[in-house]
């Protein structure tokens, strides 16, 4: 069996003369059941932004060129995505940002949406006691948005440029418009059903029912006016100013829950990041209410000490050990993770090396473990049943500036275009993040997933999330910035790209393009991307896995620092951009 290092050496030969390259190709094909990945990453010397929409990525790079730091650029990209990537970029949603400054300072800001003060435990149950669709569509589905205040807090702590200068590019994009590219055209087509439930969304995003064609200009004057007020008056306009009053008035008129007091009282919460080590690398990760940081550290801990790398990336052995680690983490996730302000999350116990060793010991190196035989591993007294389906329609971006400051930011409306509602007179699309709570604790929701007490609805509470913005250092210096959208698959997608870079020595473009897989304990199914090697799939079936093809596993983006340069990768099959200078 070949060592993973051989894979890296052979992969590097693609840049040598043709004969050597053909020899490398033949050798690599014999060693590994994978197609040769050959797309180089984008390289830059001074600064880089990797985002899922090209114009927003370029906005961030322009801020870097003008002397702004990574946090300045993140503010500009965050607002730009609210214009150019409306299916997930937002003013009306929330998320997490992880920041590491070049001098070693770090911060994790939780600006996740919160349940409104009028929210009640059973608010989404119908007369028959079963969950309704009110947590998904319409005005009552929205939690209190945190994105504007989250970007504001990041700027207040670490920004260097004037706030108005950072919001100005998004104002211009909304006012003057921009051409609809393939990514937005596809999103508008896929989101038609949701957007069609709201007259204002039909008017703005479906052009009164006529739709947008590729290359046509989309303008959003109401959103431009809202962004202009935020640029002039700061984030407080969204929470206490003219915009806040517009939101509260329309909520009241349409039966929504969010009040002016909810907006005024919303707080960004700064939490200590989770940190851990893996094979000489230091990982900085999000704490609860993200499940992602615990998941990545726990799964890497289970993999460490196994021979999962022996047959190369995406081999049957690699997939097997990683899937078994995933299976065990998601069993724990279903019981123990929630909002730490409402529930005592046993993070130390979940990450205790002896506990992780016990979990690893339960992995059969040659056979899949049926999920019915895998249970949450801590004492039953800690059980809380928090598992919940999450939408995959989130967005993420990574930024590194010339000084080595780094930002990893994931934020969301939850579903495509959130709850489908655009607040009249503002251009703001609302989230449907209330669906991430357990509508009926202890009973299956409409997706067949059991939710429970730790993720039950309570005023002010924040739902559990899989968002996993991550920063990795080596020997005290920045090494990697990575993250993704993708709902409950975010954590496994980010894990795989980290492993592909660290263990299999791949560049970030090859790593994000490599076919991925996902196991979440229940259902007892191994999801493989449709372009996965059929020979590997056959071996996994023989090992006892139940396999189901899937279009994608998260949408991972990464920046790696190598030899003083920045290398960026975003999936080639999609429409993002690694932009640098």
Confidence of residue 348 (pLDDT cuts 50, 70, 90): very high
**Residue 36 pLDDT level (bands cut at 50, 70, 90):** very low
- Flag whether pLDDT at 35 surpasses 60: no
Asked if 351 and 291 count as a contact pair (C-beta separation under 8 A), the reply is: no
Instruction: Give the pLDDT of residue 65.
Output: 98
- In order of 100, 318, 570, the CA distances from 566 in angstroms are 16, 28, 14
What pLDDT is recorded for position 444? 47
How far apart are alpha carbons 363 and 357 in whole angstroms?
A: 10
Residue 438 reports pLDDT greater than 90: no
Instruction: Provide the pLDDT for residue 13.
Output: 34
* pLDDT over 80 at 20, yes or no: no
387-401, 472-486, 556-570: segment of lowest average pLDDT: 387-401
Averaged pLDDT, 52-81: 98
88, part of any domain = yes
Q: Kindly report, residue by residue over 495-535, the tens digit of the pLDDT.
A: 999 999 999 999 999 999 999 999 999 999 999 999 999 99
Domain of residue 78 covers 60-95+105-268+415-437
Decide if pLDDT at 26 tops 60: no
- pLDDT for residue 450 is more than 60: no
Helix (H, G, I), strand (E, B) or coil at 121: coil
pLDDT bin (cut points 50, 70, 90) of residue 14 is: very low
Q: How confident is the model over 315-339, as pLDDT tens digits?
A: 999 999 999 999 999 999 988 988 9
Strand-by-strand arrangement of the 526-529 sheet: 517-518, 526-529, 547-550
Residue 217, by phi and psi: left (phi above 0), alpha (psi -120 to 50) or beta? beta
* Predicted local distance difference test score (pLDDT) of residue 38: 61
The predicted pLDDT at position 386 comes to 63
| Number of neighbours of residue 59 by Cβ within 10 angstroms | 28
* % of residues, the chain, pLDDT over 70: 89
SS3 call for 503: coil
Is 90 inside any structural domain? Answer: yes
Number of domains within the chain? 1
* Residue 192 within any structural domain of the chain: yes
Identify the H or E element spanning 44. Answer: strand 42-44
**CA angle in degrees (0–180, nearest 5) for 138-139-141:** 75
Predicted local confidence at residue 23, as pLDDT = 41
Q: Check residue 455 and give its pLDDT.
A: 77
Query: What pLDDT does 7 receive?
Result: 39
Listed in sequence order, the DSSP H helices in 345-450 are 347-350, 353-361
- Give me the residues paired with residue 285 across strands: 274
Task: Name beta bridge partners: 394.
Answer: 412
Question: Catalytic residue numbers?
Answer: 394
Domain membership flag for residue 167: yes
Q: Report pLDDT for 448.
A: 41
Please provide the size of the chain in residues: 581
Q: Give me the sign of the Cα torsion angle 334, 339, 340, 344.
A: negative
Could you give the CA distance from residue 237 to residue 257 in angstroms, rounded to a whole number?
20
How buried is residue 547: exposed, middle or buried, by Cβ count under 10 Å (0-12/13-18/19+)? Answer: middle
Would you say residue 289 lies in a domain? Answer: no
Q: In the prediction, which pLDDT does 2 show?
A: 36
Q: How far is CA 341 from CA 488, 503, 515, in A?
A: 22, 36, 37
pLDDT at position 122 is: 92
pLDDT at 435 over 70: yes
Average pLDDT, the chain: 91
Per-residue model confidence (pLDDT) at position 381: 67
The pLDDT value given to residue 17? 38
| Tens-digit pLDDT profile for residues 285-319 | 999 999 999 999 999 999 998 999 999 999 999 99
pLDDT computed for residue 379 by the predictor:
83
> What is the arithmetic mean of pLDDT over 412-425?
96
Answer yes or no: is 511 within a domain.
no
pLDDT higher than 50, residue 1? no
Beta bridge partners of 567: 43, 560
Q: Which residue has the tokens 């189901």?
A: 548
473's CB contacts (< 8 A; 6+ apart) are 100, 281, 282, 284, 479
Q: Is the pLDDT of residue 217 over 60?
A: yes
Report yes or no on 430 lying in a domain. yes
Sign of torsion over alpha carbons 8, 364, 323, 537: positive
| Three state DSSP letters for 507-548 | CHHHHHHCCCEECCCCCCCEEEECCCCHHHHHHHHHCCCCEE
Instruction: Say if CB 308 and CB 359 are below 8 A apart.
Output: no
- pLDDT at residue 24, rounded to an integer: 41
Query: In angstroms, rounded to a whole number, what is the distance separating the alpha carbons of residues 449 and 463?
Result: 15
Q: Identify whether 504 is part of a domain.
A: no
């Amino acid at each position: 069996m070949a060592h993973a290092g051989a894979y890296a050496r052979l992969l590097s030969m693609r840049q040598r003369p043709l004969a050597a390259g053909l020899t490398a190709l033949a050798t690599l094909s014999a060693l590994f059941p994978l197609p040769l990945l050959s797309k180089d990453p984008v390289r830059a010397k001074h600064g880089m932004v990797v985002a899922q929409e090209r114009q927003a990525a370029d906005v961030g790079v322009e801020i870097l060129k003008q002397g702004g730091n990574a946090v300045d650029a993140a503010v500009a990209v965050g607002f730009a995505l609210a214009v150019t990537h409306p299916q997930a970029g937002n003013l009306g949603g929330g998320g997490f940002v992880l920041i590491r400054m070049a001098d070693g300072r770090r911060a994790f800001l939780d600006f996740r949406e919160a349940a409104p003060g009028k929210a009640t435990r059973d608010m989404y149950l119908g007369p028959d006691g079963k969950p309704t669709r009110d947590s998904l569509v319409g005005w009552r589905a929205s939690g209190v948005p945190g994105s504007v205040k989250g970007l504001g807090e990041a700027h207040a702590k670490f920004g260097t440029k004037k706030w108005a200068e950072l919001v100005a590019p998004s104002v211009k994009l909304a006012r003057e418009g921009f051409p609809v590219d393939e990514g937005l055209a596809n999103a508008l087509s896929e989101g038609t059903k949701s957007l069609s439930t709201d007259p204002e969304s039909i008017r703005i995003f479906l052009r009164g029912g006529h739709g947008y064609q590729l290359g046509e200009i989309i303008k959003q004057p109401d959103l431009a006016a809202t962004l202009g007020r935020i640029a002039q008056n700061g984030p407080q306009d969204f929470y206490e100013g003219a915009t806040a009053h517009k939101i509260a008035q329309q909520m009241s008129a349409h039966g929504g829950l969010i009040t002016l007091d909810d907006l005024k009282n919303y707080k960004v919460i700064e939490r200590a990041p989770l940190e851990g080590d893996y094979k000489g690398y230091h990982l900085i990760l999000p704490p609860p209410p993200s499940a992602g940081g615990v998941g990545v550290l726990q799964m890497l801990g289970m993999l460490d000490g196994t021979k999962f790398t022996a047959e190369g990336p995406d081999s049957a052995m690699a997939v097997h050990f990683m899937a078994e680690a995933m299976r065990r983490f998601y069993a724990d996730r279903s019981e123990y993770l929630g909002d730490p302000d409402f529930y005592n999350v046993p993070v130390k116990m979940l990450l205790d090396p002896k506990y992780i060793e016990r979990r690893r010991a339960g992995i059969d190196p040659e056979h899949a473990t049926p999920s019915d035989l895998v249970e949450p591993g801590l004492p039953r007294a800690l059980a809380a049943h928090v598992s919940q389906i999450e939408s995959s329609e989130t967005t993420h971006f990574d930024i590194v500036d010339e000084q080595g400051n780094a930002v990893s930011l994931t934020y969301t409306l939850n579903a495509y275009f959130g709850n489908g509602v655009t607040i009249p007179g503002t251009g703001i699309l609302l989230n449907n993040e209330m669906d991430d709570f357990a509508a009926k604790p202890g009973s299956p929701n409409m997706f067949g997933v059991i939710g429970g007490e730790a993720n039950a609805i309570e005023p002010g509470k924040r739902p559990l999330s899989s968002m996993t913005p991550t920063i990795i250092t080596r020997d005290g210096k920045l090494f990697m910035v990575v993250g993704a959208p993708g709902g409950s698959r975010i954590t496994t997608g980010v894990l795989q790209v980290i492993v592909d870079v660290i263990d299999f020595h791949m560049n970030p473009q090859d790593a994000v393009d490599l076919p991925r897989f996902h196991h979440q304990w229940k259902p007892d199914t191994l999801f493989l991307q449709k372009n996965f090697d059929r020979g590997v799939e056959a071996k996994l079936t023989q090992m006892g896995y139940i396999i189901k093809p899937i279009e994608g596993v998260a949408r991972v983006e990464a920046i790696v620092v190598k030899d003083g340069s920045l290398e960026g990768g975003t999936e080639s099959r999609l429409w993002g951009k690694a932009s640098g200078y």
